Structure 1
Amino acid sequence: MSLNRRDLLRASTAIGATGAAAGMAGLGGGPAAHAAEGGPAGTGRPLRVHVVLFDGVEELDFAAPYEVFSASRFFTDRAVEVRYVTTSRPGFVRASYGTQVGVEHGWAPQEADVVVVPGGGYARREDPGVWAEIRRGTLPRALAAAPRPGLTVAALCTGVMLLSAAGLTRGRPCTTHHKARPDLEREGGVLKNARVVDDGDLVTAGGITSGLELALWLVRRELGADAATGIEAMLEYEARGTVWSR
């Protein structure tokens, strides 16, 4: 399989970052060590991640998790498949600041291990974004019907309000963008003062940039610590804030 120039550069960085992480930890195998131990990297089935897009979605909300999950394949022996999906007809989605993104895949949570729901447009109720999706109802209904054993539903920023509209956060620990927290609590969410809140099959995160932490946490949980620290080294970014988990 051939790699493009960007992939080659990333792969080179990944090899160096993985070696550095292994050296600091006194390990010789990086992801291979997890495989030998029967850890996350040794799982035979691909990790399948679907990132949901809709008109008005915030660019960084979806791009940061997509980048982290896509890059994780350089740091694990487990295959990772990442795709954008939509509950509308596949085609182009126009994001909050005008970016047009092609979405080739329709809604198929039965084919995913992790579904990530970004936010966007919450402050502008009449514009495309979260409020428009709540009024339309298609995405909240799809989310309400999605949960099943083996699926983690994750959301960040005001995308958590789409989960709330679907009834998925009621009575459960969660968080969202600071301006939407009163709404989330009023709708029955149990707010936690953390950047990422992991309640097992429901994982939520705070405002826009916390998509990095959400994805890094899920990579750590699903693929192992070496994968997460390798991605941090590649991105030159250190995860910050508190992770609340049971």
Structure 2
Amino acid sequence: MLVFDGVDDLDVAGPYGTWSMARRAGAAVSVRLVSEGAVSTVTTAGGLRLAPVQRWSPGTADVVFVPGGGFTSAQHPGVAVELATGRIPTALRSAVRPGLVLASVCTGALLLAAAGVLSGRPCTTHHRAIAALTEAGGEPVDARVVDDGDVVTAGGVTAGLDLALWLVERFHGAEVAATVARGLEYERQGQVWQSPAPISGGGA
């Protein structure tokens, strides 16, 4: 999970909790908070301090997950600031390799788009950022989760739960995903759109 100052609390907490529960349910899932820079803590938009945050090492990951937050103003930490500095988009662009799945929730998709990985590809984001995603070269799909093989995107905030459960299902099966959803007492919402020939992943 690639985190940064100003990241949305639920964008991180929902998927992190989902994948942690999947691990406790027996799935071979390991989740790490990482940062593009050399920092050990990150502060969310709501003021939560996330730690420990490890140094960015995408070569050891099967999935790189990018949350959103702070898109509307570059006066405060968040996606708008990260777009302006270009550091995270550059890091994401350099991370692309066969076998790696890039995933995002909410305005994290705009960081993927700035990295050039969504150009001409089906994707989604928070409804208030659809125009920006289109302008950045993405092709928005009306679905809660969009799986285009090596890139998986989700709508706003709580859609991160659906993305996380979908990735559990994709990598570890529907039964494990159903067990995790029951543990969360969460009813999956919306549609998962899949490309006709999705690229299969490895472990997660």
TM-score when scaled to structure 1? 0.77
2:76 aligns with one of 127, 130, 145: 127
SS at the partner of 2:72? coil
The separation in 2 between residues aligned to 1:181 and 1:117, in whole angstroms, is: 17
1:181 aligns with 2:130: yes
State the alpha-carbon separation in 1 of the partners of residues 51 and 137 from structure 2: 35
Give, in angstroms, the shift of residue 149 of structure 1. 1.2
SS of 2:166's partner is helix
Q: Over residues 112-132 of structure 1, what are the superposed CA-to-partner deviations in whole Å (9 max), with x where a residue is unaligned?
A: 001110000012231100011
User: How far apart in 2 are the matches of 1:223 and 1:90?
Assistant: 32
Pairwise CA distance, 1:75: 2.7
> 1:181 aligns to what SS in structure 2?
helix
Partner of 1:83: 32
One-letter code aligned to 1:62: V
- Contact between 2:9 and 2:48, CA under 8 Å: does it hold in 1? yes
Structure 1 residue runs of 5 or longer lacking an equivalent are 1-50
Q: How does 1:37-186 map to 2 (within 5 A)?
A: 51-76=1-26, 78-186=27-135
Q: Confirm whether residue 231 of structure 1 aligns to residue 185 of structure 2.
A: no
Q: Deviations over 1:176-195 (max 9, x none)?
A: 00000001111211110000
Cα root mean square deviation, aligned: 1.0
Q: Is the 8 A contact 1:114 1:154 kept in 2?
A: yes
Q: Distance between the aligned counterparts of 1:130 and 1:101, measured in 2?
A: 17
Partner of 2:102: helix, strand, or coil?
strand
C-alpha displacement of 1:103: 3.1
SS at match of 1:83: coil
Q: TM-score, normalised by structure 2?
A: 0.93
* Conservation of the 8 A alpha-carbon contact between 2:71 and 2:79: yes
Deviations 1:208-229 (A, max 9, x none): 0000001000000001111100
In the alignment, structure 2 segments of 5+ residues that lack a partner are: 196-204
The residue number in structure 2 matching 1:43 is none
Alpha-carbon contact 2:110-2:136 (below 8 Å) kept: no
Q: Secondary structure at the match of 1:81?
A: coil
More helix per residue: 1
- The percent identity for this pair of structures is 49
Q: Which amino acid in the other structure matches residue 72 of structure 1?
A: A
Q: List structure 1 runs of 4+ shifted beyond 4 angstroms.
A: none
